[in-house]
Amino acid sequence: MYCSTPDSPQHGFVLSQTGGHLNSVVRWACDRGYRLIGKSTAVCRRNELGFLGWDASVPACQAVSCGTPVAPVNGGVLAADFSSGTRATYFCNDGFRLSSKEVTSTVCQADGSWSSHNKIPRCTVVVCPSIGSFTLDHGKWRIVNGSRYEFGTKVAFTCNAGYYRLGPAHIHCTANGTWSWRNERPRCKIISCGDLPTLPNGKKIGTQMTFGATAIFTCNSGFILVGSTVRECLASGLWSGMETHCLAGHCGVPDKIVNGQVIGENFGYRDTVVYQCSPGFRLIGSSVRICQQDHNWSGQLPACVSYVPGIIQMSVCLLSVAVSCGHPGSPIYGRTVGEGFNLNDVVSFFCNDGYILEGPSQAQCQPDRQWSQQPPTCRVVNCTDPGIPANSIRKSKIEYGNFTFGTVVSYDCNPGYYLFGSSLLTCQPVGYWDKPLPECLEVDCGHPGSPPHAAVMGEKFTFGSTVHYRCLEGRILIGESSRTCQLNGQWSTSQPHCS
């Protein structure tokens, strides 16, 4: 009687056998890359029924596993499995790359160790070319997120007052090491206020119409300029001051007087004529009359009366008494300008910067010792409500519910947004804000990247958004299954990978 010929294990073989008779010994071994599971030897023995048989079953040969290799920080490892002879390839997440001096793969060896001997490659962050030499004429740029031009760094562009931006408002360093502006560069173009028409019956000096340009207006002889003599193109794209007109101001030939003469050749607005009496006559009334804007001569026509020493008619005495109206008073937040306060004298009223005249701009002293007009009111200039950008907070101290001259408003953004533009706006004397309204731009982390053999679920990449990862083809996810966009514009945790 003999023991049967022993079988060889799969991925193994019979190393030796002393025969098939009683007490013979058989030894098994596994192929390279496999390890023995079970007993490596068996002895031919007689069982209880008297038959010969091997006292141990054929062992199994199991493939040697090196275990999951350690993945690089900001990267992962890709392999079909981790058994002997399998090659695992290292990869880096989007925005990172393996150094040229680093190993790119490792092989599981028969002894259960990786050929890289646990040396973990490094994933270095992708760096975009420096834009330090880029000059934004009439503007500036600044890094608003990130540093040293690394992947994810964001740069914002702003233009100086009086200029507006063309091209991207901001760019970011992409995963492939290029800036997101492609071939389009931002540039600042000067603001234009549009052409001011030439005045009918007047002249305009100055042809430029861009920010900082000025236009000077004059009227032809016989016409009076109403509005602003000088207007400047402001950063708001509007001309300063008031619209200018040339109004006809001719008063015609003044009336003549009996026993006297009128001296003066010009009869336009603000021109004066002087009355003189012939010898032996005395002038009763004002000797000077002024051509006013309403095309009428000021005051009343004087008279020349005969002068007889010692005999003065009562009416003449009454008329010859000096008439004074006294100071008319100044408007609050304004001033009064005039050379005198006597009969027929004219004073003008003006308001301080930031205030608008409401009421008459002039008054004249009348024979009843009363001024023809009461002082006007100077109303403070109001700017329109500058508005509140979306996702922002506005702070201001306003008077009487209005944005008056000198009012300052400040802006800040809600969490998850950053301010693009000036945080402070001031109401100017001309009724316009000194700077354009800022914007609150949403913090954007950009696409988080998609590792090989994985699907990314999530369509928003802004602050607070979360994306989820799922492996395909039955592979196992190694790392966190979700990542969240943080306030600093970076994704939480490193990118996972699939086995």
Using one digit for the tens of pLDDT, what is the confidence trace for 51-76?
Answer: 899 999 999 998 888 888 888 888 88
Give the pLDDT confidence score for residue 45 in this predicted structure.
92
CATH value of 260-320 in 3.40.190.290, 3.90.480.20, 2.10.70.10, 2.40.70.10: 2.10.70.10
Taking a C-beta distance cutoff of 8 angstroms, is the pair 394, 408 a contact? no
Strands (E), 254-324: 260-263, 272-277, 281-284, 288-290, 303-306
Q: Say if residues 122 and 147 touch (Cβ distance below 8 Å).
A: no
> What are the tens digits of pLDDT across the range 128-163?
898 888 889 999 988 887 667 888 888 999 988 889
* Domain 202-248, CATH number (from 3.20.20.70, 3.65.10.10, 3.40.50.720, 2.10.70.10): 2.10.70.10
Domain ranges in the chain with CATH number 2.10.70.10: 12-63, 75-125, 139-190, 202-248, 260-320, 334-380, 382-442, 454-498
pLDDT tens sequence across 176-220: 889 998 788 899 999 998 888 888 889 999 889 899 899 999 988
Q: Beta partners for 410? A: 395, 424
> What kind of architecture, by CATH, is found in domain 454-498?
Ribbon (2.10)
Give the C-alpha separation, 65 to 71, whole Å. Answer: 17
d(CA 346, CA 366): 10
Amino acid symbol at 313: Q
Three-state DSSP at 318 gives: helix
Identify the pLDDT of residue 441: 86
CATH architecture label of 12-63: Ribbon (2.10)
- The residue type of 445 is C
For 285-316, write each residue's pLDDT tens digit: 888 888 876 778 888 888 888 865 544 443 33
CA atoms within 13 A on the CB side of 313: 8
Contacts (Cβ under 8 Å, ≥6 apart) of 410:
394, 395, 396, 423, 424, 425
Q: What is the pTM of this model?
A: 0.46
CATH superfamily assigned to domain 75-125: Complement Module, domain 1 (2.10.70.10)
Its CATH class, for the domain covering 382-442, is mainly beta
Q: Has residue 11 got a pLDDT over 60?
A: yes
CATH number given to 139-190: 2.10.70.10
Q: What superfamily in CATH does domain 334-380 come from?
A: Complement Module, domain 1 (2.10.70.10)
